[in-house]
Structure 1
Amino acid sequence: MRKMRSLEQWRNIIEEQQACYLTIAEFCQQHALSKTSFYAARSKLIAASGSFVRAKSH
């Protein structure tokens, strides 16, 4: 079942990923997240904030 998350929830998830040593792919796999949803949420947050959110990629 698809879980709907608010942008604030995604902001927390993205910040958690940035603070850990895992790549986005590893983080998403371990937290049962879709990479597509992760990247889409990150793009929305970047557009909403007008600033860059750095994230580790694989």
Structure 2
Amino acid sequence: MATKFVVSGTASAWRWKQFRQAVVAEVVIYGALGAWRHVSPARRSGSWQRLAARVPRQANYTVAA
């Protein structure tokens, strides 16, 4: 059974604020990375798809040889 630790109101509020800021920052970062991927030259040319499709085949040929 898990035990709960009671933290004073000030420390608890400070921790909640820090946690909330970290979550917001993470959401913003992931959103920016997702948007960057959709406008990057690799995305527009499809080269990342060709590269991703090429790697497993190379691995199969290496194992078979």
Fold match by TM threshold 0.5: no
Work out which structure has the larger RCO, using CA pairs closer than 8 Å and 6 or more positions apart in sequence: 1
Q: Under a length normalisation based on structure 2, what TM-score does the superposition of the two structures give?
A: 0.28
More helix by share: 2
Q: Under a length normalisation based on structure 1, what TM-score does the superposition of the two structures give?
A: 0.31
